[in-house]
C-alpha cells in the first residue's frame, strides 16, 4: 500500500468512524501530521474520497467532510437499490465457484465479528460483500458503480451498525443462498428488501 492509499484508508476510517464530523474542515497540513505523510498523498487522498462522496473539495475554500441530507440519502438508496438488485440477479446467473466461495467467506467473517461484538470491522466487511456481489455479476460497469457508491454506503452502514447488524448479515446470507441456487429473481428481490430495510433504519436515525 503506497502513501496515498494509506492516507485514504485512514481518512476514510476517521470519517466513517466519526472521528471527523460532517462539515469539519480538512486541512492538509493537519492531516499530514496526523497520518505521518507528506501533503502530496494527503491531497491525493482527499481527491479519492471526494470521488466516493465522503469529502467535498471547493475552489478557494478547501476540503471538508461531506454532510448527507435526508434527500441526498434517499437519492443514494434509490440508486443503490437499482445497482445492487441488478448485480445480484446477474451474479445468480454468472457467478463461478471462486466468487461463491468468496461471498460465503465474507458472510462467515461478518457473522464471526458480530458474535465477537467486533462491530468496528463490519462496515468494511459489508463493503467487501457488496463489491464481491458486483464482481460475481461479471459486469465491469456494475463493479465501477458499486465502487463509486462504496464510501458513502460504508458511512451510512456505520451509522446504524448497532441497530441492524444481525439482521443485515442474515440478509447477506440469504442473498448468497439465492445466488448459489441460481435463483436470479430471488437474489434480486432479497437484495432490494435488504437495501430498503437499511434505508428505513437510517431514516429513523436521522
N-terminal to C-terminal alpha carbon distance within the chain: 35
Grid coordinates representing 77 are 438508496
pLDDT value at residue 100: 98
Note the pTM of the prediction, 2 decimals: 0.81
pLDDT value at residue 174: 98
pLDDT value at residue 206: 55
Residues of the chain with CATH 1.10.10.10: 3-65
Q: 55 with 23: CB under 8 angstroms?
A: no
pLDDT value at residue 185: 98
CATH code for the structural domain at 70-205:
1.20.120.530
Q: What is the pLDDT along the chain (206 residues), one digit of tens a residue?
A: 688 989 998 998 888 777 888 889 999 999 999 999 999 999 999 999 888 888 888 888 889 998 877 788 888 899 999 999 999 999 999 999 999 999 999 999 999 999 999 988 898 899 999 999 999 999 999 999 999 888 888 888 887 778 889 999 999 999 999 999 999 999 999 999 999 999 888 777 55
The Cα-based distances of 162 to 77, 159, 165, 168, 205 in angstroms read 19, 8, 6, 11, 11
Q: 149 with 83: CB under 8 angstroms?
A: yes
Distance CA 84, CA 101 (A): 19
The Cα-based distances of 164 to 35, 156, 194 in angstroms read 32, 12, 11
Question: CATH fold of 3-65, please?
Answer: Arc Repressor Mutant, subunit A (1.10.10)
Tens of pLDDT, residues 69-111: 778 888 889 999 999 999 999 999 999 999 999 999 999 999 9
Residues of the chain with CATH 1.20.120.530: 70-205
pLDDT value at residue 46: 93
pLDDT value at residue 205: 57
pLDDT value at residue 184: 98
Distance CA 95, CA 175 (A): 13
Amino acid at each position: 500500500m503506497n502513501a496515498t492509499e494509506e492516507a485514504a484508508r485512514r481518512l476514510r476510517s476517521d470519517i466513517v468512524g466519526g472521528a471527523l464530523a460532517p462539515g469539519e474542515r480538512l486541512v492538509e497540513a493537519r492531516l499530514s501530521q496526523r497520518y505521518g505523510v507528506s501533503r502530496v498523498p494527503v491531497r491525493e487522498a482527499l481527491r479519492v474520497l471526494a470521488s466516493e462522496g465522503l469529502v467535498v473539495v471547493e475552489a478557494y475554500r478547501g476540503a471538508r467532510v461531506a454532510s448527507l441530507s435526508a434527500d441526498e440519502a434517499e437519492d443514494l438508496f434509490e440508486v443503490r437499490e437499482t445497482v445492487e438488485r441488478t448485480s445480484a440477479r446477474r451474479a445468480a446467473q454468472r457467478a463461478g465457484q471462486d466468487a461463491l466461495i468468496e461471498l460465503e467467506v465474507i458472510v462467515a467473517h461478518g457473522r464471526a465479528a458480530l458474535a465477537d461484538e467486533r462491530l468496528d470491522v463490519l462496515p468494511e466487511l459489508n463493503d467487501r460483500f457488496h463489491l464481491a456481489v458486483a464482481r460475481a455479476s461479471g459486469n465491469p460497469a456494475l463493479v465501477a458503480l458499486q465502487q463509486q457508491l462504496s464510501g458513502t454506503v460504508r458511512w451510512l452502514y456505520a451509522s446504524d451498525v448497532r441497530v441492524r447488524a444481525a439482521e443485515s448479515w442474515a440478509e447477506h446470507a440469504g442473498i448468497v443462498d439465492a445466488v448459489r441456487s441460481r435463483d436470479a429473481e430471488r437474489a434480486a428481490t432479497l437484495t432490494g428488501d435488504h437495501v430498503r430495510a437499511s434505508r428505513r433504519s437510517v431514516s429513523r436515525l436521522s
